[in-house]
Structure 1
């Protein structure tokens, strides 16, 4: 009998990776996915989410976790839109609990919470705000392997992003078997 090996985590932000924005003059594609969950019409940006993200995320060898300010709303409005089950959600610290010194030094306010949530497990963090400061801090404070993957918010997750994530995640599946 072999020991239990937990899957790598994929911390997924919504705004930027799944909902592209920030392109000054770009027209974004609109995706129709059927009946909208009650209240989904309150956010017209939801139509920018490509439903193909769901199967592509589900095919990655990891446990996907919402790491977004959408928090539980991601399970209500986004998961059904792209065909994902209910996912775990990172609960963020209160703004008063975030170290102001971190922000002055360029550390993203999510970074410490994600390392704590991972608790030593390998993880990939997909966000449009990841910086070299975050990468250096994670390398110094996380005992497991980590990939901090920045996505261009003008385009959102693209084929090249999925290829990089899949390649990185699969190396930890092989090494943990």
Structure 2
């Protein structure tokens, strides 16, 4: 049996972009990046915690790690190396920020297409009750939708919840 998927968003869970601008969260390092499309003005400020890479690699024993971010494959160039992650598969969104089923986040329908009936856990800062209802109704396998506060990023209880969920499958 295949491992469940762990679908990982970058901005919010790994990069707490909504934290106070002048107060980098403890444990994070500052990186300046120019991913595709970021051509004007200052480079993008990204805060990353190297400890998240260790946590994710630990979860890779029970999950197949996949980028589920607007960074798409560029997460392998800009994010993964700072976290000590190997190259990961990614969801190549057919359309970003497009029309979504009533009330759901635009990613949700594509998450289900990518999962293709497999169990998955998804960490993102844009998950709502509508997304949970949609996934429960449309996805027959187990799913954990873990909302992450974009001011804080992933924290110990989040990693514990992911580990416990995978162990219970």
C-alpha displacement of 1:25? 6.3
Query: In the TM superposition, what whole-angstrom CA distance separates every residue of 1:56-107 from its partner, at most 9, and x where no partner exists?
Result: 00111101100000111100011111110000000112259x435x2xx311
The aligned residue for residue 16 of structure 1 is 12
Aligned equivalents of 2:30 and 2:96: distance in 1? 36
Moved over 6 A (4+): none
- The residue that corresponds to 2:126 in the other structure is 129
Mapped to 2, the partners of 1:156 and 1:122 lie a distance apart of 23
How far did 1:122 drift? 0.5
Q: Which 5+ residue runs of structure 2 have no aligned equivalent? A: 36-41
Does structure 1 residue 43 correspond to structure 2 residue 44? yes
What SS is found at the alignment partner of 2:72? coil
Q: Structure 1 residue 154 and structure 2 residue 116: aligned?
A: no
Distance 1:24 1:84, change over 3 A: closer
Measure the CA separation in 2 of the matches of 1:124 and 1:17.
13
Corresponding residue pairs, total: 159
Deviation at 1:126, TM superposition (A): 0.2
What RMSD over aligned residues (CA atoms) do the two structures have, in Å?
2.3
Structure 1 unmatched runs, 5+: 173-177
Q: Show the 5 A alignment for 1:2-151.
A: 5-24=1-20, 27-29=23-25, 30-31=28-29, 42-45=43-46, 48-60=47-59, 61-95=62-96, 98-99=98-99, 102=101, 105-151=102-148
Shift of 1:42: 3.2
Cα deviation for residue 23 of structure 1 reads: 3.2
> Which residue pairs with 2:39 in the alignment?
none
Q: From the two aligned structures, give the one with the greater strand fraction.
A: 2
Could you tell me which residue of structure 2 aligns to residue 175 of structure 1?
A: none
Q: What is the CA distance between 1:156 and its match in structure 2?
A: 0.1
TM score, norm. by length of structure 2: 0.86
The structure that is helix-richer by fraction is 1
Distance in 2 separating the partners of 1:118 and 1:51: 27
Q: Deviations over 1:27-72 (max 9, x none)?
A: 1144279xx9x95793322xx1001111100111101100000111
